[in-house]
Every structure is written in C-alpha cells, then in structure tokens.
Amino acid sequence: MADNELNPIQLPCPAGQFVPHEPPMLLIDKLLSRDGKMTTASAIIESDSIYKDPQHGILPEYFIEIIAQTMAAANGFDAYLNLAPVKNGFITEVSSFSLCENKVNYLEFVITVEEVMALGSMKLMKGEVFAASISLAVAELKIYEDDS
C-alpha cells in the first residue's frame, strides 16, 4: 500500500510539504483547497520579511512569489496523490500584474490560483491575492516545469 494511502493528507495542511522552499523563502503557510484547476492557499508575512519596505509597505514581488508558490503547492499535492515525483517549476514570464493598493500593510493573505492552460512543460496561470476579502493583487504567470 502506498504511503499516501496509509497517511492521507487532509486539506488544509502545511504548504511546506509540497513546496521545495525553506524559510525565509517559503512564503505560503497553508494549502487550503485544491479542486480541479483551482487552488487556494494562505500566507502570513513576517514583520522582518525581506519583502517589506518601511516606506512602501509590501513589495510587489511578494505577491508574484506567493501566487507562484500556491501553484507549486498545487503541483506538489497532485504529485503526492498520483505517487509521482514533484517537478521543479520556474516563473518564465509575468504576463500581467496589477497591484490594487499602493501601500499594502496587511499581514495575512488568501491566494487563489487557476491553471488557465497547460502545453507540455509550460503552464499559464492566473492568481489573485486577497486580504480581509479585499483584492490586493492580480497576476498572470507563465511557469516552466522541469521534467528532470
């Protein structure tokens, strides 16, 4: 019997089980849901994060990275369920990005990601970041997944 049949993972669960990063680069904390092409995760930014600037609040790169890590958690979760190896993924393009507030000072976020299209090793995904039910950032990213 496979390990995941003996120890099934229930969502929500720690995202670190599925994302190949360690703190301080592991930015999402929980994988909340995975349903078809949709995934939801959560993140809490630390007060001493490299992504926080005293004058500008949270840097835009933070939002792009938590969207990408949410997709990585989804891919890791799927690999776990399918008894498959986890593929490394890399952001190859930020196709679009908009920050809905100029100075973001929230500490807790919910991230939703939808896989829009997959073609071979490339994926196009759309992500949105919320705090207190307010949309803060929206991005469309292209991800390359390494099969090796």
Whether residue 6 is predicted with pLDDT greater than 90 in this model: the reply is no
pLDDT over 60 at 42, yes or no:
yes
Q: Residue 27 is encoded by which pair of tokens?
A: 């930015």
For residue 25, the 8-state DSSP code is T
Q: Which of 88-92, 122-126, 143-147 has the lowest mean pLDDT?
A: 143-147
Q: What is the mean pLDDT of residues 41-48?
A: 94
Residue 139's contacts (CB-CB under 8 Å, 6 or more residues apart) are 63, 64, 67, 94, 95, 96, 97, 98, 126, 127, 128
pLDDT band for 56, please (50, 70, 90 cuts).
Answer: confident
Q: What is the pTM of this model?
A: 0.91
23: CATH: 3.10.129.10
Q: How many domains does the chain have?
A: 1
**What range defines the domain where residue 63 resides?**
3-146
Does residue 1 register a pLDDT over 60?
Answer: no
**Cβ distance 86 to 18 under 8 Å?**
yes
pLDDT at 79 over 80: yes
